Structure 1
Amino acid sequence: MTTASGLRPMTAGELTKIVLNKEELFILDVRNQSDFDDWKIEGESVEIINIPYFDLLDSVDQALEQIPSDKRLLVVCAKEGSSKFVAEQLVQAGRTNVSYLEGGMKSWSEHLEPVKIGDLKDGGSLYQFVRIGKGCLSYMAISSGEAAVIDTLRMTDVFERFAREQGATIKHTLDTHLHADHISGGRKLAEQTGATYWLPPKDATEVTFPYEKLEEGRDITVGNTKIKIQPIYSPGHTIGSTSLIVDDEYLLTGDILFIESIGRPDLAGKAEDWVGDLRNTLYNRYNGLAQDLIVLPAHFGKVTELGEGGRVIARLSDLYRNNPGLNIQDEETFRRTVTVNLPPQPNAYQEIRQTNMGKITPNEDEQREMETGPNRCAVHDK
């Protein structure tokens, strides 16, 4: 809705399309510098500057001096109010083509963009849900009117609505591991739809709720498509991390292997214990799989990992050539790489783990606050 001044909001969905289409955009972020430094909107054709809101209360002149006049301008804050005020001042000062981000960084963090990965052999489809503001990735396999959702995010209404639009009933929700950077929506979605919730048993020793054991030798059928839980018990990020092979073509690696990096083993305080498992999974187990498998991770760390249409995808053989985490031949060097000088741990990761175990039940606002910031599940993320 455009205001009387000509100012209009931009939704997180519209912003996502701009980023994925690599369109030019200039962003003025008016949050505090510390919040901006921790987490910001990124894109290949996005320019961004930070001038805190309180520095613009009396005058927007310093912003006008730094903003190019020929580019689309988006003003961003945490929740919306401050950015709308600043954007209105910029319009009054004569600046045109100005928008503010509707719902602020809160809405950016929670937006999910579904992109089609490909068709399954029986005529079904596989979709990736890109949480572009936080770097999380979920998946939905659909076949013959049934669906399975993998690494479900807490915005479960998005998955329910999408399945409905595809004429599918959600029969299974699966978590590849006990997540530490975001709150899982897998159990909630299963309860809402009557689906079966699957979790690796070695990650579930402290959970307070019933679940089906996601483990080797148990094939999960969705319509006519088998999601094969082959011998891909793949510990390292967590002790229970389990990868999935879908339709003999797609390897869902959870947080073990990303496109430009590898998983970190320290989020349960077990880095020294799990580093050997991580190396064995990456250098032995995955290396023994068909190298033409298409890798689909549960996260991305940088916008450079977003491919055509926003897909985060790569062939396993290409990752063994190009991913630095898969090319550390010396075992001691590998150990140091994944245990020393790691990026900061995710915001409230201990509370998130407790929530995903069912030990605490934060309300919606508390969950949103716990998830603020980037995911930081990878060794090489900066």
Structure 2
Amino acid sequence: MTVKAMEAKEVTKKVFNKEDLFILDVRNEADFADWKIEGENFNYFNIPYFDLLDGVEGIIDKIPTDKEILVVCAKEGSSIMVAEMLSEEGLDVSYLKGGMKAWSEHLEPVKVGDLTDGGELYQFVRIGKGCLSYMVVSNGEAAIIDSTRMTDVYTDFAKEIGSKITHVFDTHLHADHISGGRTIAEQTGATYWLPPKDAEEVTFEYAPLEGGTDVKIGNTTINIHALYSPGHTIGSTSFVVDEKFLLSGDILFIDSIGRPDLAGKAEDWVADLRESLYNRYRELSEDLVVLPAHFMIIDELNDDGSVSEKLGTLFAKNHGLNITDEDEFRKIVTENLPPQPNAYQEIRETNMGKITPNEDEKREMEIGPNRCAVR
């Protein structure tokens, strides 16, 4: 039997469609425990590749014959060899092309809504890392918000739909992934916007994004209203787009809230976080559709693979928005934190322009799960 390569895009569709898939992950146990491909109807078996060098006979009884089988490793090489061994045993099996490296970098565009004057809003789902970025399109112009370093995906998509990228925004200085905002702006001549309170140490020119800033996209009345909402960082800024959508950055997620400690300022910023979530956001319409910069778990995906929820629903159901006691809130937000993202200091310095790692170094810095939320 031939061993087939399955691309990250195909696996993403299986996640979105809630299909069955059996994943044989041949990375070491610690890597698998830290971060794996997640799907609602996926089953897993993890055994390090080195334990299979003498053959796969010992694990054949662990592999189902009634499910599609995908072998996964870090970069694809080991998974090809294991898949070939399984194929020789008569199993129909695929390997993940590019391994977890490719899984970490895949972006899937999903349309999340139409705008009042004929524009559209797209969400780019980075399924393996939990990052969410956005493109607002109107009348041949496009704005990108919270882009990843895989900049070709955005520029190619804009070309495909016949739009010129004129503005690029970051809601805050990211600490878990490298922003592609500056690169896209340089490539396209777009204006790059950054909250000035997060940009005090940056080494490049930017347009200051502050509360009350309106930026017009196209020649229609679609405005992006910037709403200063500190807490995850001191400069964190949300956007209200077309009076319909709230792009919340890393302040508010579907099932959790943003962590305030990625610049070492948890105690200082926790009051800002509460003020943003419990006061500033309360003044907004509950009908706004919240579009965060990350998702935490696969259950947060909608049926079409997008991530969104009405603000009113989050006020009712999101535990992080319903902690009435301020001391309890402070305790939860400062003490109940997951491990910090891999290489987050280096990522922050890269996003400031202080260091310029090469592609392999950037990839290595970002490997691992999303860790932007309070648990």
Alignment TM class, shorter chain as reference:
over 0.9
Which amino acid in structure 2 is aligned with residue 194 of structure 1?
Answer: G
Partner residue, 2:207: 212
Q: In the alignment, is residue 66 of structure 1 matched against residue 65 of structure 2?
A: no
Q: Bigger CA drift: 87-96 or 58-67?
A: 58-67
Which amino acid in structure 2 is aligned with residue 71 of structure 1?
Answer: K
Partner residue, 1:86: 82
State the shift of 1:61 in Å: 2.1
**1:355 aligned to 343, 350, 359, which one?**
350
Partner residue, 2:51: 55
Provide the C-alpha distance between the structure 2 equivalents of 1:373 and 1:227, rounded to a whole number of angstroms. 35
State the shift of 1:186 in Å: 0.3
Which amino acid in structure 2 is aligned with residue 239 of structure 1?
Answer: I
Which amino acid in structure 1 is aligned with residue 6 of structure 2?
Answer: M
Partner residue, 2:247: 252
Runs of 4+ in structure 1 over 4 Å off: none
1:186-205 superposed matches below 5 A = 186-205=181-200
State the shift of 1:64 in Å: 1.3
Partner residue, 2:38: 42
Q: In the alignment, is residue 29 of structure 1 matched against residue 42 of structure 2?
A: no
Contact 1:124 1:225 survives alignment (8 Å): no
**2:282 aligned to 279, 287, 295, which one?**
287
Unaligned runs of 5+ in 1: none
What secondary structure does 2:193 align onto? strand
Contact 2:336 2:374 survives alignment (8 Å): no
Provide the C-alpha distance between the structure 2 equivalents of 1:375 and 1:15, rounded to a whole number of angstroms. 19
Provide the C-alpha distance between the structure 1 equivalents of 2:286 and 2:316, rounded to a whole number of angstroms. 11
What secondary structure does 1:117 align onto? strand
Contact 1:219 1:226 survives alignment (8 Å): no
Provide the C-alpha distance between the structure 2 equivalents of 1:106 and 1:227, rounded to a whole number of angstroms. 37
Partner residue, 1:174: 169
Contact 1:215 1:229 survives alignment (8 Å): no
Q: In the alignment, is residue 275 of structure 1 matched against residue 270 of structure 2?
A: yes
Which amino acid in structure 1 is aligned with residue 133 of structure 2?
Answer: S
State the shift of 1:62 in Å: 2.9
Unaligned runs of 5+ in 2: none
Contact 2:117 2:222 survives alignment (8 Å): no
Partner residue, 1:103: 98
Contact 1:153 1:183 survives alignment (8 Å): yes
1:118-137 superposed matches below 5 A = 118-137=113-132
Partner residue, 1:314: 309
Partner residue, 2:233: 238
Provide the C-alpha distance between the structure 1 equivalents of 2:206 and 2:66, rounded to a whole number of angstroms. 55
TM-score, normalization by structure 2: 0.99
Provide the C-alpha distance between the structure 1 equivalents of 2:56 and 2:272, rounded to a whole number of angstroms. 54
What secondary structure does 1:28 align onto? strand
User: CA RMSD, aligned part only?
Assistant: 0.8
Provide the C-alpha distance between the structure 2 equivalents of 1:225 and 1:251, rounded to a whole number of angstroms. 17
Q: Bigger CA drift: 219-228 or 353-362?
A: 219-228
Q: What is the total number of aligned residue pairs between the two structures?
A: 374
Contact 1:143 1:225 survives alignment (8 Å): no
State the shift of 1:47 in Å: 0.8
